[in-house]
Amino acid sequence: MNYIQTDIEGPLIVEPRVFGDHRGYFFESFSQRDFEEHVGPVTFVQDNESLSAKRGVLRGLHFQKGDAAQAKLLRVVRGSVLDVAVDIRPGSPTFGKYVSIVLSGENKRQFFIPRGFAHGFLVLEDDTIFQYKCDNFYAPEAEGSYRWNDPFFAVDWGISPEEVILSEKDAKAPFYKQD
């Protein structure tokens, strides 16, 4: 695997070595030993999967607070997404900045987001399957979110607001309030 540092310290792009021939392909999608060698000790305890039926579905920006914070390793099995990580670590020199990457079934890239980031993704193709590992269990009482189009974060989603498909919960997410 190839681990690529992003413009913000912490999030990493992970590119697997894909072996293909006339039968199809094979790649190792995760190795604890390799991951720890390049990232450090992270123990994933939960795997999640979502299907988004339509292009334009936007999920996020989500995070968990305090002891329930989560690091995530994300990938797309089918279709494609624009995946976004926003630095919300208090005191971070890149607080409020974001990094984005296109993940797809075709490019097989993965995105590691450490604790202390809000996460969201925009579905770029119908019938996209998105999978991710978390290093902490989901805790509804620690859940937080910010509005996908919050001007403080100014994420460039590359889509017009009229095309975005949101859950009711994401549509009502609060804006970040500067102190």
Whether 132 is a known active-site residue: answer: yes
Residues 6+ apart with CB under 8 A from 162: none
Of the candidates 1, 45, 10, the residue with the CA atom closest to the CA atom of residue 119: 10
Among 3, 22, 25, 62, the one annotated catalytic: 62
Whether 119 is a known active-site residue: answer: no
**Strand ranges in the chain using DSSP code E only, listed in sequence order:** 2-5, 12-15, 19-21, 24-26, 46-52, 58-64, 72-78, 80-87, 98-104, 110-113, 117-123, 128-134, 143-145
Among 98, 119, 132, 146, the one annotated catalytic: 132
Q: Which residues are catalytic?
A: 62, 132
